[in-house]
A = this chain, B = another copy of it.
Amino acid sequence: MAGNSFGEIFRITTFGESHGEGVGVVIDGCPPMISLKTNDFVHDMARRRPGKRLSDTPRREEDKVEILSGVFEGQTTGAPITLFIRNKDVDSSPYEILRTLFRPGHADYAYYKKYGHFDFRGGGRSSARETAARVAAGVVAAGVLASLEIRICAFTLEFGGIRAVNINPDLIDDDPYYCPDPAASAQMEEAAKMARKEGDSLGGIVEIHVDGCPPGLGEPVFDKLEAELAKAIMSVGAVKGIEVGAGFEAARLRGSQNNDPLAPDGFRTNRAGGILGGVSNGDQIILRAAVKPIPSISREQDTIDREGHGAKIKLKGRHDVSAIPRINPVLEAMVRITLADHYLRLKVMRQFVDPTV
């Protein structure tokens, strides 16, 4: 009801605030007998961590994931899995100003109108720090999907107006912007440098590819796979748009151009982005997410205080120049969590279906 849970069978509930004790997640509905160790989280948590790029905030957190429940002798037990990431390095004093002023582009004003009372320190519940719990949950989701050999990759298609042109998937992991085009990546670094200098921030577009997804995931009508993925991805703070396959381009195509013809060896094109009628068709799933520039900028901005009087606000502290590329592993995690849930849902639906089909 209060929106902190996601998934029907593989169900995650995140909790925690940016400047409270920490952030965490309870995963209920994870089957037993999946290998899970503290070490499994290190790689993904590191990818989300700041500090590798000029565009990152210098706040350094170890982001160590503690397993509080649900794992015994290195395996899941079927009991709820609780993961907790303790907050460190939390100086809340720069946020005292939020006791009176609303930051433009942030949740502050809307939260105040809704709750009357909220933990504003560091953005509290609306902080991107909450996504650390999602990345941790994504690691468990990966365990559920392990036997399927699904590969999920969220790369930077566009950043600060610069678009990747030559897509080389092999370069993504090592690129500081998770960009598949080194030339574009170098320009992105320049754009980031400039924006930081000017006390401003940048947005971009992240494209997500899912390879190896079997047909059948997604439920018709409201829980169509693209609807679920749209929700999963739009639930990440900075995302303001989402499209699947040809997306907004499809609006300009004719049916004869947009339909993907079937052939004995597969679909001839993939404008559907791997989903038909809300159900995966076995082809590559293609998504694109529009990421807005992060609202925390060093420039002075117009705002109002809690009584509605006009005011100026100038945020202290240093912030990321962009949600990209730290958002990329978060989007991957959300896709992973969505697929894990739908994979288990598919298993139920196929109980009595001829398994040779």
| Chain A positions 292-333 with a Cβ under 8 Å from a chain B Cβ | 292-297, 299, 301-304, 308-310
Residue with the highest number of chain B CB atoms closer than 10 Å, among A28, A29, A259, A310: A259
Chain A window 219-261, contacts with chain B (Cβ cutoff 8 Å), 1 for yes, 0 for no: 1111110111011101101001111111111111111111111
Asked if A348 and B344 make an inter-chain contact with CB atoms under 8 angstroms apart, the answer reads yes
**Residue in contact with A78 in the complex, picked from B2, B29, B66, CB distance below 8 Å:** B2
Q: A33-B116, A115-B78, A353-B32 are in contact. Are A235 and B251 (CB under 8 A)?
A: no
Name the residue on B nearest A344 (C-beta): B348
Q: By the criterion CB–CB under 8 Å, are B220 and A126 in contact?
A: yes
A69 within 8 A of B: yes
Known: A15-B82, A32-B116, A78-B118. 18 other contacts (CB 8 A): A1-B11, A1-B348, A2-B29, A4-B222, A13-B13, A15-B70, A32-B352, A33-B353, A33-B354, A72-B119, A108-B276, A110-B278, A221-B235, A241-B247, A242-B243, A258-B293, A259-B295, A261-B303
Closest 4 CB pairs of A and B: A107-B277, A3-B219, A3-B223, A241-B243
A–B complex contacts, Cβ < 8 Å, 14 sampled: A15-B79, A24-B82, A31-B350, A32-B115, A33-B117, A107-B279, A113-B282, A114-B346, A125-B221, A200-B254, A200-B256, A231-B234, A251-B291, A258-B295
